[in-house]
Structure 1
Amino acid sequence: MEPALTQLAKLTANETHRLDRAIVAISVNPALGTEVPGTLLRDYVDEIDGVRVIYYVTALGSITIVAYVEA
């Protein structure tokens, strides 16, 4: 968990805002991203905001996220 917190602390306000928008979109529609073949992962790319999110939706509806924000 610590590496994730360290990475979050390095995001600018603009990057955080862009990432938040993508996370909200996924939370509203977990099927938004495309399936990653051979896995349970989904891949969501927002080319306008320059954000890519790889995520997994559990059977109970929880969402685990790994995100990438382009500079």
Structure 2
Amino acid sequence: MAPRRAQIAFSDSAAKQLEDLTTERELHALDRTLVAISVNPEIGVLIPADGTRPELRQYTDEIEDVRVLYFITALRTVVVVAYIET
């Protein structure tokens, strides 16, 4: 049985950034990045914070030239994307 993937959700600002992606290359690169995060939500590096929750993580795929900031929900079943950079 394959491991369960986390669902991907977008904050309002990330959804707006997603709407602004126009090229097939950008969309493909983001898709590959989101698959990697959904398979292993803890793949991203924790961003130092003041102890507040949720903890933000940063995942950068230098090959695809994508950077995503996100947090994982308490049950680790949903990843909420807060920021997209391509």
Give the alignment's TM-score, normalised by structure 2: 0.69
Distance 1:33 1:2 in 2: 20
User: Is residue 58 from structure 1 mapped to residue 58 from structure 2 by the alignment?
Assistant: no
Please report how far the alpha carbon of residue 60 of structure 1 lies from its aligned counterpart in structure 2 after TM superposition.
Answer: 2.5
Structure 1 gaps, min length 5: none
Which amino acid in 1 is paired with 2:40? N
Q: CA RMSD in A?
A: 1.9
Structure 2 gaps, min length 5: 1-11
Distance 1:32 1:2 in 2: 22
User: Is residue 10 from structure 1 mapped to residue 26 from structure 2 by the alignment?
Assistant: no
**Structural mapping, 1:19-38, within 5 Å:** 19-38=30-49
Please report how far the alpha carbon of residue 45 of structure 1 lies from its aligned counterpart in structure 2 after TM superposition.
Answer: 0.4
Please report how far the alpha carbon of residue 33 of structure 1 lies from its aligned counterpart in structure 2 after TM superposition.
Answer: 0.7
Which amino acid in 2 is paired with 1:44? Y
Q: 1:56 to 1:48 in 2, by over 3 A?
A: same
- The ranges of structure 1 where at least 4 consecutive aligned residues each deviate by more than 3 angstroms after the TM superposition are none
Give the alignment's TM-score, normalised by structure 1: 0.82
**Is residue 18–residue 84 contact of structure 2 (8 Å, CA) maintained in 1?**
no
Q: 1:59 to 1:2 in 2, by over 3 A?
A: closer
Aligned length in residues: 68
